[in-house]
Structure 1
Amino acid sequence: MTMIRSEISADSSWPIDATTRMNRMYRYQRHIYDTTRRYYLLGRDELIAGLAPAVGDNVLEVGCGTGRNLIAAASRYPNARFYGFDVSTEMLTSAISAIARAGLSGSAKVAHGDATAFTARAVFGQPIAFDRVMISYSLSMIPDWTAVIERAIASLKPGGQLHIVDFGDQRGLPRIARDALRRWLGLFGVTPRDGLEATLMQIAVRTGAGLKFDRPYRGYAQVAVLTLPSRRPAA
């Protein structure tokens, strides 16, 4: 297995205002983030279980935050290579420390980058093609979330998979609970992407990809796996 290290990249292509905004939000929250989010960021472990990368596969997490998912995935799949990036340098500081404590600095590399303009060359310094890309509860915090999906798909190999879990439309919850949840999420700049399934369906039609979509926990979450065809369609 190729040994890779964790670092904050010197890439300057990301928007300073987004970094500043996320750093303000997470400067103190990052210390309790994993403890508190475990109770309501549902479906993350199921996403990791579904990755199933082969030996030597490259796996990317968009919006890796504190590194929690990268650590869980790298521990579960020790023969794959893991990469993650985030726009918040505060969160990346926590990720680097957590990855080191887990003894996974040789298995997971993190860097600073903007998900709406991601390229592996700009963020990691080399043109990596990924076998799996995972996005866990990040799309609901990024205004231009459709651009994130497009950049993620562009980074995949033919036959690669995009795995997404995020807040759903809560259609199975009582109206009062749904409204209260949406108001509470809004306090943290979180907006559930109700158009996610339709967007992914359009991409699947355009690219010839397969799409699996589910709304577990009575619609509290939405989960998607988009599988690209083994060959890119002709332009």
Structure 2
Amino acid sequence: MLAIFKNGLVNPPKELHSPASIQLASDRFKTCEETLKEFLSANPNNGFSLGFVDKAILAYAPPTSQPRLFCGVDDVYCTFLGNLNNLCNLNKQYGLSKGGNEAMFVIEAYRTLRDRSPIPAHQVLKELDGAFGFVIYDHKYGIVFAALGADKSVNLFWGVAADGSVMISDNVALVKASCRKSFAPFPPGCMYHSDRGLISFEHPMHKMKAMPRIDSEGTMCGAYFAVDAYSKTNSMPRVGSAANWATWG
């Protein structure tokens, strides 16, 4: 899968930018559009992409190894990697169709919590049992929401391209092609919201810290993010309507 969010829609942590990318600006790196073409050419029979004017591009191809799903409901789109062991119970808990898959559950749970539930996002994500990662794009509200399970069985990577676009993919080569050194693994046990930033849903009271990454050539890359066990947020996570999946703070 490949998600490209144009400059301004997503504001990633500043540490994801690597100074080395500026120094390498004269080198030939692929534009986001070229990386998208590479993704589609690698999947000529079953790959596809969706474009949202100047906001976002989502590309998907059916899995060859680990499970991967894509679906969209009422202008909310989700790519889901992995599987949930407790999907049946979750569908029942949220009053959803028992025949729905993981991507459908994530979308419906997101929409339910966005519109009318006071349950905070980190609490919902901690209820997901399994190996998972997902990216949601809510086109109507201009929201990007991504999360990765804590067990490290599924990998996601994110980076900042030369034009400021943010790319997210399970294929690190695609991200590196356009983001130069400004990329990093998406941190396990964490969620990212385009308005509220990066937070650990495993340890929501603790702040995130950026850890420098040096590649095999000794060049500074985009930072890896981890929970700061010694630093906590100033207040408890909200539990009111302002703490749902759309606007938690």
TM-score normalised over the length of structure 1: 0.29
Which structure has more RCO (C-alpha within 8 Å, separation ≥ 6)? 2
| Higher normalized helix content (fraction of residues) | 1
